[in-house]
Amino acid sequence: MNRTLWHDTEGNSIQAHGGMILQHDGTYYWFGENKNGSTSVAPSGDIRVDFIGISCYSSSDLHDWKNEGLVLIASDDPSSDLYKDRVCERPKVIYNKKTNRFVMWMHIDTADYTAARAGVAVSDAPTGPFTYLCSMAPNCSDCRDLTVFQDTDDTAYLIHSSDWNKTLRISQLTDDYTGLTGVCTTAFIEQEREAPAVFFHEGLYYMITSGCTGWNPNSALYGISGNIQTGWKLIDNPCCGKDGRMTFYGQSTYVFQKDGIFYLMLDHWNPADLKTSGYSFLPIHIDGTALTITMED
Ligand code: GAL
Please report the pLDDT score of residue 234 as a whole number. 97
Report the chain's mean pLDDT, rounded to a whole number. Answer: 98
In a domain? residue 268: yes
- Please compute the mean of the pLDDT values over residues 232-249 and round it to a whole number: 98
226: Cβ below 6 Å to ligand 1?
A: no
In a domain? residue 8: no
- Please state, in angstroms and rounded to a whole number, the distance separating the CA atoms of residues 75 and 211: 32
CB 14 within 8 A of CB 65: yes
214: Cβ below 6 Å to ligand 1?
A: yes
Pocket test for ligand 1, best of 89, 110, 159 (most atoms within 8 A of CB): 89
Nearest CA to 169 among 153, 155, 180, 178? Answer: 180
267: Cβ below 6 Å to ligand 1?
A: no
Q: What angle do CA 151, 223, 187 make, to 5 degrees?
A: 75
In a domain? residue 2: no
In a domain? residue 62: yes
**Residue 223: pLDDT over 90:** yes
Q: Please tell me whether residue 189 adopts helix, strand or coil conformation.
A: coil
- Please compute the mean of the pLDDT values over residues 228-257 and round it to a whole number: 98
CB 162 within 8 A of CB 142: yes
Question: 68: pLDDT confidence band, cut at 50, 70 and 90?
Answer: very high
- Please compute the mean of the pLDDT values over residues 231-247 and round it to a whole number: 98
- Please state, in angstroms and rounded to a whole number, the distance separating the CA atoms of residues 191 and 234: 9
Residue of minimum CA distance from atom 1 in ligand 1? 214
In a domain? residue 5: no
Tally of structural domains, the chain: 1
Please report the pLDDT score of residue 275 as a whole number. 98
Question: What is the domain extent for residue 55?
Answer: 17-293
Residue of minimum CA distance from atom 12 in ligand 1? 214
> What is the C-alpha radius of gyration for the chain, rounded to an integer number of angstroms?
17
- Please compute the mean of the pLDDT values over residues 83-88 and round it to a whole number: 98
DSSP string, 116-145: -EEEEEEESSTT-PPEEEEEE-GGGS---S
Question: What percentage of the chain has pLDDT greater than the value 70?
Answer: 100
pLDDT tens, 133-158? Answer: 999 999 999 999 999 999 999 999 99
- Please compute the mean of the pLDDT values over residues 183-190 and round it to a whole number: 98
Give the domain CATH number at 41. 2.115.10.20
From the alpha carbon of 210, which atom of ligand 1 is closest?
Answer: 8
**Residue 33: pLDDT over 90:** yes
271: Cβ below 6 Å to ligand 1?
A: no
From the alpha carbon of 165, which atom of ligand 1 is closest?
Answer: 7
48 Cα–ligand 1 center, Å? 10
- Please compute the mean of the pLDDT values over residues 160-173 and round it to a whole number: 98
Extended strands (E) in 124-277:
131-136, 146-150, 156-162, 167-173, 180-187, 194-201, 204-210, 221-225, 233-236, 251-258, 261-268
In a domain? residue 147: yes
Q: Please tell me whether residue 111 adopts helix, strand or coil conformation.
A: coil
Q: Please tell me whether residue 195 adopts helix, strand or coil conformation.
A: strand
In a domain? residue 260: yes
In a domain? residue 9: no
Sign of the dihedral defined by the CA atoms of residues 186, 284, 104, 38, in that order = positive
260 Cα–ligand 1 center, Å? 30
**Residue 245: pLDDT over 90:** yes
- Please compute the mean of the pLDDT values over residues 20-36 and round it to a whole number: 98
**Residue 26: pLDDT over 90:** yes
- Please compute the mean of the pLDDT values over residues 22-34 and round it to a whole number: 98
C-beta atoms surrounding 57 within 10 Å: 24
- Please state, in angstroms and rounded to a whole number, the distance separating the CA atoms of residues 286 and 246: 20
Question: 297: pLDDT confidence band, cut at 50, 70 and 90?
Answer: confident
